[in-house]
Structure 1
Amino acid sequence: MNTRNTLLKTLAARLGVRIGVGVGVGAAAGAGLAAWGVSQLTDFRLHQYTLPLLEPGTLRGAPEFRILHVSDLHMIPGQEQKTAWVSALDSLHPDLVINTGDNLSDEHAVPDVLAALGPLLARPGMFIFGTNDYWAPKLSNPLTYLTGAKRKPSYVDLPWRDMRAAFIERGWRDATHKRLEFQVGPVRLAAAGVDDPHHDLDDYSTIAGPPNADADLSLALLHAPYPRVLDRFAADGYQLALAGHTHGGQICLPGGRALTTNSGIEPARAAGLHKHGDMNLHVSNGLGTSKFAPIRLWCPPSATLLKITERS
């Protein structure tokens, strides 16, 4: 708790200085803004979109195929509100759960991740990881996120192997550098994923080529939505790509206007449903932050329910 309080005081002081210089308000106003930003960490939201991607008759009378997209949990022990909210997403009855990485923000948080995802792990699911699954976060100025500069990883290993084993044991599929084909209900899926492009861990050559033409729905998974990878997925003909990493900008202007994405795509596509060429792209703004940057401004955490329907 003392460490968290120190971090918040430091962040408030930094925000107070920056805001005081930029718009003429004092350190007290900056501290108040920082406090509000901290309060947004548990202001969880659910976004919903409908995408008509399936051929008529595919769903055999069902109204939709429901995909729950979660990303960037950045769990640390003791986040009870986040755990309860994420677990309650099971009440949406998703047909498929997709997790696009950065589940951890602490070396002891694997049990917390499993508790949060709990009932969702009993549903069909796929996942890929981000670099914050592999390596622990490190203390840095949280406002450097606004510069878009790529920060060097700590290279302090996190227990991602244990987490991966638990996901697979419960039935989720690891899509990292793999082409997957399986059926959920009446829907035949073709999916592929890459490791995190943010630190050049991706190798698209391992999955290159169009998805199976017999599939009803083709999905592309990547943690950070870098255009150089999205271009390859789009050129190969995938219908829907899912990514995270951006945190929706995390520190935004009023109205949720992102200042940066830290990934190469423009701020207007920092979160939500967009197009990338002929391919649909959904970018999650995530459910957490690094434990060393515990703040969100005009960017509350979220998960997304994508309702895939038949084309008319």
Structure 2
Amino acid sequence: MSKCMKRFGLFVGASCVAGVVGAVWGWRETRRFELKEVTVPLLEPGVLRGRECFKILHISDVHMVPGQVAKQEWVRSLASVDPDLVVNTGDNLSDLKGVPGVLRALEPLLRRPGLFVFGSNDYFAPRMVNPFVYVLGKKRKVSDVALPWSDMRAAFMEHGWLDATHARHEFKVGSVRVAAAGVDDPHHDLDDYSLIAGAPNPDADLSLALVHAPEPRVLELFDADNYQLSLSGHTHGGQFCLPGSYALVTNCGIDRARVQGLHRFGNMFMHVSNGLGGSKFVPFRFFCRPSATVIRVVEKSA
């Protein structure tokens, strides 16, 4: 065997080993859950009546598959955060039998005031897709397999959570008056903003906009109606990122700089969750761990 062939063989072998090591590491990262925290000044002075903050727990993209006990236990532990409000921005399922796991995970949080909208993976089961579809920025087609989303929705609502899908809600949590509205998943053109159009009640202390995918065309409408904070998921924070959590793709129209975390969108703040799961056909994450976020809404400085 020539030296060139030996070197080629060594290169191929090393590449295979590196690929296996990378895959194992990426798979393990999907189980290293993180709780993030951000602070945003939105409330007028005096609204909190001496409290430090109004605490929103933002969860998204659980993508539950039967047997994911570690994920269920971690989500259950979030009750210790003692949130004033829980916001779930969709894609709870990744399997036809995922609903029991979702309800077990969320059970302690369903005792808190909550809002939710759904994403396409609440309605339709995931399917195997060419990964280059994401790299090229092309929209994948949904599968023909319907998920039992209506049963999950009924359970959420029986526990008191409010469905913000094409709906406006006003309610009070403690001393904070909340106005909220949401749309169905715009990534697959399920949204109809005309059903909720208009500014939130000016008497509200805090106005929230819910949308699964942070598509700019919808965020622009919420911003024009003077909502203060939008909450979304869908992007998985990029899922496959470079060191430093720099996203390579967003899987929607938002720019890569705002694929995760708290940012500005016009005059509105926006928060995009990394999400807690992913498609069961792509069980890997790189430099982008699954997470939930505590959003500390505080009073504006005088």
- TM norm structure 2: 0.94
Q: Which residue of 1 aligns with 2:298?
A: 309
Is residue 207 of structure 2 the alignment partner of residue 210 of structure 1?
no
Deviation of 1:27 (Å): 2.1
Q: Which residue of 2 aligns with 1:5?
A: none
* Partner deviation per Cα, 1:222-252 (whole Å, 9 max, x = no partner): 0000000000000100000000000011111
Kept in 2, the 8 Å contact 1:246–1:271? The answer is yes
Kept in 1, the 8 Å contact 2:133–2:139? The answer is no
How does 1:39-54 map onto structure 2 within 5 Å?
39-54=28-43
Distance in structure 2 (CA, Å) of the matches to 1:74 and 1:144: 20
Structure 1 gap ranges (5+): 1-19
Aligned partner letter, 2:243 = P
Is residue 100 of structure 2 the alignment partner of residue 111 of structure 1?
yes
Aligned partner letter, 1:43 = R
* Partner deviation per Cα, 1:28-81 (whole Å, 9 max, x = no partner): 212211110000011000110111110111011111100000000000001011
Distance in structure 1 (CA, Å) of the matches to 2:58 and 2:135: 25
Q: Which residue of 2 aligns with 1:163?
A: 152
Kept in 2, the 8 Å contact 1:192–1:207? The answer is yes
Kept in 1, the 8 Å contact 2:23–2:284? The answer is yes
Deviation of 1:156 (Å): 1.1
Structure 2 gap ranges (5+): 1-10
- TM norm structure 1: 0.91
Distance in structure 1 (CA, Å) of the matches to 2:219 and 2:128: 31
Q: Which residue of 1 aligns with 2:74?
A: 85
Runs of 4+ in 1 over 3 A off after TM superposition: 141-144
Aligned partner letter, 1:144 = V
Deviation of 1:141 (Å): 3.2
Aligned partner letter, 1:27 = C
Distance in structure 1 (CA, Å) of the matches to 2:32 and 2:132: 21
Q: Which residue of 2 aligns with 1:63?
A: 52
Distance in structure 1 (CA, Å) of the matches to 2:14 and 2:178: 53
Is residue 188 of structure 2 the alignment partner of residue 196 of structure 1?
no
Q: Which residue of 2 aligns with 1:136?
A: 125
Bigger fraction of residues in helix: 1
Between the aligned residues of both structures, percent identity stands at 64
Is residue 140 of structure 2 the alignment partner of residue 151 of structure 1?
yes
Distance in structure 2 (CA, Å) of the matches to 1:227 and 1:124: 28
Q: Which residue of 2 aligns with 1:182?
A: 171
Larger of the two Rg values belongs to structure: 2
Aligned residues: 291
Q: Which residue of 1 aligns with 2:112?
A: 123
Distance in structure 2 (CA, Å) of the matches to 1:271 and 1:104: 21
SS in 1 for 2:177: strand
Deviation of 1:100 (Å): 0.1
